[in-house]
Structure 1
Amino acid sequence: MLATALALAGCHASDAATPAQAQASAPAAGDLPVGNSGAAMPGPGTCKLGTRDGQPLPDPSCTPGAVNPAVRQETIKDTICQAGWTKTVRPPTSKTNTMNAASARSYNLEPGAKSEYDHLVSLELGGAPDDPRNLWVEPGTIPNPKDAVENKLHAAVCSGLIQLAPAQKAIAGNWVTAFDTVGLRVASGKVCLRDKSTTCVNGHRGDEDGN
């Protein structure tokens, strides 16, 4: 059952990567993989949900996150910081519906359970649009707590509070602790630097449909 899956406290290491997976992920040490729509989908039942502070986390061996190579620090003003840009890269539902069903089988989730087919590194943070390594079936209702984290990180990146790459790595590594990882705190709807409490930006909703 879904409730049982959510109760799992740890993440499970899946079987060894297939040749397709290995070929699709050759980043420098510490970097996220570059998006590849041909990356292999994990096999049925090979992925396990984890939890942190009662929130679901993807299995890092199945869903490590991946990034869009067109989105870099020097291009953010023309990409993720442009209103509506994510609509130009969002894959069609005809593709993601099929991927969603396969990903649910990978995570051994019950068909029809409430969930969002989520980009771990959101499109508004330059996540890869259609790489299986950046997509997982996030249990729960929509919107969910991760959406707010994505939007606030987007605001911090586009305002210049933090750089893009650390935000991407933080949300891919553990979205629940991402603010702490990049040195941010959130108070009264504002996102501020933890060591400079007066350096803040309003935590706006982010790019429309930017998950």
Structure 2
Amino acid sequence: MYRLPITLTAAAAAALALTGCAAGPAQHGFQVMKAAGSQTAPTPAGGQLAVGPGPTNYTVQPQPPAGSCHYRYTPAGEPLPDPRCTPGAISPKVTQDTLAHTVCRAGYTKSIRPPVEITRAEKRANAQSYSFTGDMADAEYDHLVSLVLGGDPNDPRNLWVEPPSPGHKPKDGVNNPKDIVENKLSAAVCSGRVPLADAQTAIATDWTTALDRLGVR
């Protein structure tokens, strides 16, 4: 099984610098937010995904300051989050050994999803973090590492206001091609074709290339 290189190449670092995302937290004027009870762990650039608190008694989480996060875009125009604000975070409850009782069990994600009154407030604040000015009904408050792949439900490092993809019809609601990627990776993980950690890292690094990187069709 192919494993992703996690350290940034020089070319990748240069690309991030061009988009304004390579600046450190001090240059942005904030520290990457961490949910209460979460563990300190390196971000993908440091070698692994952060570990959040997992399912808990959810409260509204603080977001980065307004204007401090910057979207990146692929050559095809698909949006990617700022890795300094949204590097991804995983739930400690979901591991390779617990798949059958967690993400591969019907109804699991519904049982651990934060209440809408929590995520609605966070979405508004995160839109300001990313300077998103579009129609909020057309943008998804997205788990970068999705719940079906063991992403942390409410760690602010794992959530971002994802703008509509190219070709999206305004006022047509959320229509997110990232969901297709998430579902295919989930099927690959639950069938044993792809290790959980590989799928998590691939989607946190770049959801638009995750399937190709892992050979999932």
* Common topology (TM > 0.5): yes
Task: Give the RMSD, CA atoms, in angstroms.
Answer: 2.4
Structure 1 runs of 4+ aligned residues shifted over 3 Å read: 17-25, 36-40
Q: Percent identity?
A: 49
Query: d(CA) in 2 for partners of 1:149 and 1:118?
Result: 13
Structure 1 residue aligned with 2:168: none
Q: What TM-score comes out, normalization by structure 2 length?
A: 0.74
Is 1:27 the counterpart of 2:41 in the alignment?
yes
1:10-159 equivalences under 5 Å are: 10=19, 12=21, 13=23, 15-16=25-26, 17-18=30-31, 21=34, 24=38, 26-27=40-41, 29-36=46-53, 40-52=62-74, 53-110=76-133, 112-113=135-136, 114-140=138-164, 141-159=173-191
Deviations 1:74-132 (A, max 9, x none): 00011000111101110000100000001000000116342011000000000000111
* 5+ long unaligned stretches in structure 1: 1-8, 187-211
2:87, 2:204 within 8 Å by CA — same for their partners in 1? yes
Q: Which has the higher strand share?
A: 1
* Cα distance in 2, alignment partners of residues 48 and 154 from structure 1: 28
CA deviation profile, 1:123-175 (whole Å, cap 9, x unmatched)? 00000001111000111152311000000000000000010001001100110
The residue number in structure 2 matching 1:170 is: 202
Residues paired across the two proteins, number: 177
Query: Hey, what does 1:195 align to over in structure 2?
Result: none
